Structure 1
Amino acid sequence: MSKLKDKVAIITGGGSGIGRAISELFAKEGAKVHILDLNAEVGQGVVTDILAAGGSAEIHGCNVSDQAEVAAIVSAIGRVDILVNNAGIAHVGNIEKCAEADFERVFNVNVKGAYNALHAVIPQMKQYGGGAILNLASIAAVVGIADRFAYSMSKGAIYAMSMSVARDYMADNIRSNSISPARVHTPFVDGFISKNYPGQEAEMFEKLSQSQPIGRMAKPEEIAKLALFLCSDDAAFITGNDYPIDGGFIKLNN
């Protein structure tokens, strides 16, 4: 298992859910994984598991919305071959139910956080001859999802930034793509349902599962496998693309 042998990978939000699955798979494939996560304790648990399995990983407690903090960590890491912008938060509500503080919180983590990582990593990639960038967008970037105004805004920005970086840095051997998952069953989803739909957990889980034509949510490991492909040399001819991994949500919901 060596698709990423000797590669250095930064994964934001790598302590849980999709980020954890990506961190574990990348380490299994030979990468030195650097997890940037606000919850350093949770991230350390992932690092411990990776080390126990024979992989290489390190945790950096980090608020991705703080540019100086991100820049200092990236500078200390040095060479970066792969960046996965995965850190993100959600918000339920249409524009009338989205307060300024809600909007700014989602923007600062999902959009500014990705910007901060890109801003810090791209000069490093240029210095060391190139790299692969993968940003976690969402089906919400391209279709209307009810009561997800701020979240949809943020994922649309992620999609646009991915394409812009792909266009601007081709000559520097930097590839940039995005993934747009539909709903993925993670601890975040379980907590999200419990918080927003108390007493209706089972009903809402089934409703959200069935919103994918395939009849279920994705597993984090399925997202990680697509991430691995796009960040490996197998995808050397792929840049400037978004990949829905959505159980048919975008095109088969009719």
Structure 2
Amino acid sequence: MTRLSTTSTSTNSKAKPWHYHITIDLLFLILANSVFHPWITMVFYLCLASVHKHREPLAYYTLCYTAFLAIVEVCIWANHRITYGPHRKVVWENEVIVITGGGTGLGRVLSQMFLRKGAKVAVLDVRQPDEEAMEEMERWDLQWEVVDVSSKKQVEEAVEKVIEQFGSPTILINNAATNVRGLPLLATPTKTTTLSAEQASSTLTINALGHFNTLSVLLPYLTSSKTGAHIVTISSILAHLAPASLSDYTASKAAVSSLHHTLCNELRSHPDRSVFAKVKTLLVEPGQLDTQLFADKTTVPFYAHFFGPVLEAKDIAKEIVRRIERGDGGAIRLPFYAKFMPYFGVMPGTVQLAFRWFSGIDGAMLPVAK
């Protein structure tokens, strides 16, 4: 099998120092697979029992703790199944995947991972395919369409070509997004260039309206698929945080997150109950990725990486592929702190202010020269 390269997806290909990998996410991962894992604590109890100490208080408390963890796991599983419905069976050779913005970054990594799985992949991107993509199209079931997703007509024409070559799409990855401008609404001595209405309109058109266009064209095919379908919305955790100087970007991401939730509710309330059972929805709200979107545009305190590490695109892509392969829906929020950000707005104002000061989020965007 031909090896696919992902060297162009990261903004930093240099080897990272060992301490770069020591983060709060690593610590919680260790805890989740040790003292907070019911199978591990059960093994500890069995070890005590093997040396005839099962009647001692330590063994008793260990068994109770294990039972508590097991109940929590079952409740989490039951809640997820009720919320998102049963799994659908995914056979990669039968999947036709449409990825918007698949030319670079996360979209590019996803397309390459899907190709490795044996799926048929159609990339919709404003960029022309590069040399690497041309080679991939010769070796794999990859179709590349130059499309501006803000134009519904262009999306319709591209989807017609995809259906002609691969068949009806079964997975939609709404990933296309424009570059981050990082311009404030209010001028300051250090940031004199402000965001214009035209620039904001451009960002919202590409980042948000593009999702409406692709859904408008592809939903009839996805909901009528006999094997089921997946709709993946790539948003951002910044939709919940709204940092300074990112009003157009955060507004667009808040819009697509809201669009995703509305779509989920419409599928759930559809008169044909089989539609909700077959069509899985997956919302992806990651923290900062090591792609060109924010490259060289932000600065954060020296300790920020420990609490909110910059993610590699392949890590998010692996989790997306894993969820789809399981035939599951839900939400993916990484790194660890991102899981709590949907609740950020209900925290006391002083707590929110303390978090913003500690993270340096409102001063992260560097000034943009005229």
Q: What band does the TM-score fall into relative to the shorter chain?
A: 0.7 to 0.9
CA distance in 2, matches of 1:246, 1:210: 15
Q: Please say which of residues 30-39 and 158-167 is displaced more in the overlay.
A: 158-167
For 1:123, the equivalent position in structure 2 comes to 220
Q: Please say which of residues 209-218 and 161-170 is displaced more in the overlay.
A: 209-218
Q: State whether structure 2 residue 175 is matched by structure 1 residue 83.
A: no
Q: Please say which of residues 99-108 and 85-94 is displaced more in the overlay.
A: 85-94
Contact 1:131 1:174 survives alignment (8 Å): yes
Residue 45 of structure 1: how far off its partner (Å): 3.0
Residue 98 of structure 1: how far off its partner (Å): 2.3
CA distance in 2, matches of 1:94, 1:60: 34
Contact 1:143 1:250 survives alignment (8 Å): no
For 1:146, the equivalent position in structure 2 comes to 244
CA distance in 2, matches of 1:148, 1:247: 22
CA distance in 2, matches of 1:5, 1:20: 19
Q: Which of 289, 310, 326 is matched with 1:184 structurally? A: 289
Residue 69 of structure 1: how far off its partner (Å): 0.5
Q: Which amino acid aligns with 2:173?
A: V
Q: State whether structure 2 residue 147 is matched by structure 1 residue 93.
A: no
Q: State whether structure 2 residue 133 is matched by structure 1 residue 18.
A: no
Distance change >3 Å, CA 215–CA 144, structure 1 → 2: closer
Aligned length: 235
CA distance in 2, matches of 1:9, 1:106: 25
For 2:280, the equivalent position in structure 1 comes to 175
Deviations 1:6-61 (A, max 9, x none): 2000000101111100000011112100000000233x633524654xx3211000
Distance change >3 Å, CA 74–CA 50, structure 1 → 2: closer
Q: Which amino acid aligns with 1:235?
A: G
Match of 2:290, SS state, is coil
Match of 1:189, SS state, is coil
Q: State whether structure 2 residue 148 is matched by structure 1 residue 63.
A: yes
CA distance in 1, matches of 2:219, 2:134: 25
Unaligned runs of at least 5 residues, structure 2: 2-89, 187-193, 342-354, 359-370
CA distance in 2, matches of 1:221, 1:62: 24
Match of 2:285, SS state, is strand
Contact 1:103 1:150 survives alignment (8 Å): yes
Q: State whether structure 2 residue 332 is matched by structure 1 residue 243.
A: yes
CA distance in 2, matches of 1:155, 1:219: 20
Distance change >3 Å, CA 132–CA 246, structure 1 → 2: same
Distance change >3 Å, CA 84–CA 210, structure 1 → 2: farther
Residue 231 of structure 1: how far off its partner (Å): 2.6
CA distance in 2, matches of 1:244, 1:18: 15
Match of 1:245, SS state, is coil
Unaligned runs of at least 5 residues, structure 1: 198-203
CA distance in 1, matches of 2:184, 2:219: 34
Contact 2:136 2:142 survives alignment (8 Å): no
TM-score relative to the length of structure 1: 0.83
Q: Which amino acid aligns with 1:121?
A: L
For 1:161, the equivalent position in structure 2 comes to 259
Q: Which amino acid aligns with 2:253?
A: K
Residue 168 of structure 1: how far off its partner (Å): 1.4
Residue 222 of structure 1: how far off its partner (Å): 0.6
Residue 251 of structure 1: how far off its partner (Å): 4.1
CA distance in 1, matches of 2:150, 2:301: 29
Contact 2:309 2:335 survives alignment (8 Å): no
Contact 1:27 1:50 survives alignment (8 Å): no
CA distance in 1, matches of 2:134, 2:234: 21
Q: State whether structure 2 residue 307 is matched by structure 1 residue 217.
A: no
Q: Relative to total residues, which structure has the larger strand share, 1 or 2?
A: 1
CA distance in 2, matches of 1:146, 1:246: 21
Deviations 1:142-161 (A, max 9, x none): 12322111100000111111
Query: What RMSD in Å do the two structures reach over aligned CA positions?
Result: 2.5
Match of 1:132, SS state, is strand
Contact 1:182 1:247 survives alignment (8 Å): no
CA distance in 1, matches of 2:302, 2:251: 23
For 1:200, the equivalent position in structure 2 comes to none
Match of 1:114, SS state, is helix
Deviations 1:209-235 (A, max 9, x none): 853444631111111112212333x13
